[in-house]
Amino acid sequence: MEIDIRTLIFVLGITHIIQIVVFIHQYSINKTFRGVGWWLFWSAAEIAGFTFMLLRGIPSVLEIAIIGQNALIVAGVIFLYIGIMRFFDKKENRALVISIFAVYISSILYFLFVNNDIQLRGVIISATLAIVSFLSARALLANKNRVASASANFISATFLAHGCYHVFRAVMLFVAPLSSSIFAPTLLNVTTYLDAIIAGNIWTFGFIIMINQRLNAEVTEAKEEIELIFDTSPDAVIITRLGDGLIVNVNEGFSALSGFARAEAIGKTVFDINIWADNNERQKFLNELSAKGFCDNFDVMFVRKDGVQLAGLLSAKIIKLKDMPHIISVTHDITGRKQAEVALKEAYAGLEDKVGERTRELRERLDELERFRAATVEREFRMEELRVENERLKAEKNK
């Protein structure tokens, strides 16, 4: 049974359309991952290349179709190589890539317009595809990390197999005559398109696996970092269910502040361990939190396990865990600051009392001085009157 080559090209185009949809989705949700966009360009370039390939059946556009097909298909696999390098945050060898593409296009143009030889053009495109496939395999093996090691090895093996096939194809084209039509259902033509379909699908699924592995690794790393921050924070951090106040998690800072071990707190409600000194204050806190979704620096009193009250500065936010609203709150112990404020107020009040007492004493002293001064002035005035009277009496006596 003969397999229609145009049907294989059509199937190949459909698979790349599906791959475009897949890569668009991956790019939209993983924009921070470099390289995914280049894999999208690969599928788009391949579709355009296969479209030009189908146009080779029209004699009037044959040369344009040959150039477009060859340029786009090779550009597509180069995009694959660039995407791999960028995905691992490496820089591709731009000079090498440009050189490969320039030599390839120059050779195709020569064997199209100067010495029209379809067989040598086939050798050139297979040799170029093999070279780029080996570069991609090397890029995967050289830059793979612990997270994506298995998937990188698998994709690399596919690139190596794809490259080896094209080495075989180049040799076969070089030593054996080629049909004048690329649509001839020869074994070599059929296997070439089957290889493209199989390799393309494996690469696509392999890249998706690598993306997901990297995403899972980053999520795990972020979770570990958050847990580390959560556990090592000196402040009391507690996660409770919004509806009933059930304690989901607490950190060591909470245990140190409240006196309740994690095992004693987790699974209980805030009412069970009775950490709020005034439940009316808790309701005010919840009202503010519900209205704004967060709460900053809420001044509140808590009760330790031993019954001692402590002052806290509470900040909280509503989050969702398993699609249920929870509260994550951070409490900074300001008991010492409150005690210092009270002591300062008491000291200030005592100072005011002392100042008032000293002021009263000073005022009494001043009043005494004023009375003494008035008495002195009065005495001097009397003495002056007596002196004047004595002078007058002496003067009358002398007369």
> In this predicted structure, what is the pLDDT of residue 137?
95
Question: 174-180 long-range CB contacts below 8 Å, 24 or more apart?
Answer: 174/119, 174/123, 177/119, 178/118, 178/119, 178/122, 180/118
- Per-residue CA distances from 206 to 36, 81, 200 (Å): 12, 14, 10
> Can you name the CATH fold of 5-228?
Rhopdopsin 7-helix transmembrane proteins (1.20.1070)
Just give the CATH number of 234-333.
3.30.450.20
> In this predicted structure, what is the pLDDT of residue 218?
81
CB 207 within 8 A of CB 155: yes
Intervals of the chain under pLDDT 50: none
> In this predicted structure, what is the pLDDT of residue 178?
61
Q: Is 362 left (phi over 0), alpha (psi -120 to 50) or beta?
A: alpha
Q: Dihedral of the CA atoms 85, 90, 96, 97 (nearest 10)?
A: 40
DSSP 281-309: HHHHHHHHHHHHSEEEEEEEEEE-TTS-E
- Measured between alpha carbons, how far is 46 from 74 in angstroms, rounded to an integer? 9
The tokens describing 36, both together, are: 């995914």
